[in-house]
Amino acid sequence: MRNILAVADIVIKELYRRKDFYVLFIVTILICLVMASVNIFNNPDIIRYVKSLCLLLIWVSSLVIAITTTARQIPAEREQRTLLPLLAKPLSRSQLIVGKFLGCWIACGLALLCFYAFFGALSASREHHWPVLSYLQAGLMHWVALAVVIALTLLGSLVFAAPSSNATICFVIVGGILFVGRYLDVVALSLQKPWQTIIYAVYFVIPHLEFFDMRKLIIHDWPLIQWRFIGLASLYGVAYAAFFLAAACLVFRRKAVN
């Protein structure tokens, strides 16, 4: 665990010393503030459209941070040959993978914390109430979704040589799941065999990231979800993340690093 945390610590340092997060955070704040300043029939309490935009930007930013940060981890270590002195230490390859995952996940969690704090402040400024537990549920689910995305990207970074191609493929997969993952079975029904069977199988195999997207619930102030459903969904996400991580460890186990 000590080694994993040491690796994770370096990844976190890397994220907060790079400019990516700050740029995305500032852009999100600026866009939201500009949108919030629009005069809608002299009614200063209208907020849901700003909440909607803010959450969209938070999701996009978090996916950009998670995928780009993770995609470059192992390839950059190989390219800059920092992997050699690192693996020459008593650090197993699995520990390195798990450490990288943990670092990216914690770093994304910290970024999410900043984003959601801004979101909370923005909505509280007009709604005059702060449903902290709802935001906590949404943030937690968002973070679990990022665990799956990060693990998937980490696996991709060991399969695809170039970080850019890996990042693009991961964006397409994650975006595809978020947009149509829930309806793949409906899409399958309109197809002929064997595509119908294939799409139907994909529907059951993919991680359903849309479970973790609670934007509509917090935009429209829906009541809290029962915590047992949050727990079950988190377990579901953790299981997928663990599966992708295990696959990544397996791929990296016998891979030549020189």
Partner 1 sequence: MNAILKTEKLRVEFKNRETRQAAKVALLGLDLQVNGGEVFGFLGPNGAGKTTTINVLLGFVQPTSGTASLFGINVGQPIARQRIGYLPEMTYYYKFLTAEELLRFYSKIFGLPGPEAERRIDGVLKLVELESSRKRLIKTYSKGMQQRVGLAQALINNPDLLILDEPTSGLDPLGRMKVREIIQRLKTEGKTVFFSSHELGEVETICDRVAIIHQGELKAVGPVNEIMGRRASLEKAFLDIVGYQPQPTP
Partner 2 sequence: MNPARTLFLSLVALLVFCFGFAAWLQPQFQDLPFNRSVSMDFWGNLLDDSRDLFANSAFVTADEYYHSGYYPTIFDNNQAFETPHMAEDTGAVASRNSGDETGFMGKPRDWIDAFGRHFIPNRHTHLDEGGPTDDLSTSSEVKEILPWLKLSAELDPEDVKTFVVTAFWLRTRLDETRQAEQVLREGLRYNPGNPQLLFELGRVYFESYHNIPRARMIWEAALRMWHAEAPDKLLSERLNLANQNFDDRFIYEQLQVHLANLEQAAGNYPAAIARWELARPASPTPDDVDRHIADLKQKLSAAKDKSAT
Judged by the rule CB under 8 A, the positions of this chain that interact with partner 2 are 38, 40-43, 45-49, 141, 180, 182-183, 185-187, 203-204, 208, 210-214, 216-217, 219-223, 225-226, 229, 232-233
Using CB under 8 A, pick the residue from 1, 2, 41, 204 that binds partner 1: 2
Check binding of 165 to partner 1 (CB under 8 A).
no
Inter-residue contact 97 to 204 (CB < 8 Å): no
Selection from 88, 242, 36 nearest residue 150 by Cα: 242
Taking the complex as a whole, the smallest distance from the CB of residue 152 to partner 2 amounts, in Å, to 18
Site for partner 1 in 104-133 (CB under 8 A): none
N residues, the chain: 258
Taking the complex as a whole, the smallest distance from the CB of residue 163 to partner 1 amounts, in Å, to 16
For 224, other C-beta atoms within 10 Å of its C-beta total: 12
Check binding of 1 to partner 1 (CB under 8 A).
no
DSSP string, 99-153: HHHHHHHHHHHHHHHHHHHHHHHHHHHHHS---HHHHHHHHHHHHHHHHHHHHHH
Check binding of 194 to partner 1 (CB under 8 A).
no
Residue 213 site contact among partner 2, partner 1, none (CB < 5 to 8 Å, cut-off depends on kind): partner 2
Taking the complex as a whole, the smallest distance from the CB of residue 185 to partner 2 amounts, in Å, to 6
Residue 1 site contact among partner 2, partner 1, none (CB < 5 to 8 Å, cut-off depends on kind): none
Site for partner 1 in 7-66 (CB under 8 A): 9-10, 13-14, 17-18
Residue 182 site contact among partner 1, partner 2, none (CB < 5 to 8 Å, cut-off depends on kind): partner 2
Selection from 194, 195, 234 nearest residue 214 by Cα: 234
Using CB under 8 A, pick the residue from 29, 53, 56, 91 that binds partner 1: 91
Taking phi first (over 0 means left), then psi (-120 to 50 degrees means alpha), and beta for anything else, what does residue 239 get? alpha
Separation of alpha carbons 148 and 127, rounded Å: 33
Characterize 93-102 residue by residue with b for buried, 16 or more Cβ atoms within 10 angstroms of its Cβ, and e for exposed: bbbbbbbbbb
Residue 256 site contact among partner 2, partner 1, none (CB < 5 to 8 Å, cut-off depends on kind): partner 1
**Nearest residue (CB) to partner 1, 65 versus 170:** 65
Check binding of 3 to partner 1 (CB under 8 A).
yes
**Summary count for the chain: helices (H), strands (E):** 11, 0
Site for partner 1 in 232-251 (CB under 8 A): none
Strand ranges in 53-120 using DSSP code E only, listed in sequence order: none
Taking the complex as a whole, the smallest distance from the CB of residue 164 to partner 1 amounts, in Å, to 20
HSE (side-chain half, CA atoms, 13 Å) at 112:
23
Selection from 10, 1, 167 nearest residue 98 by Cα: 1
Q: Which residues bind partner 1 (CB under 8 A)?
A: 2-3, 5-6, 9-10, 13-14, 17-18, 80-82, 84-92, 95, 254, 256-258
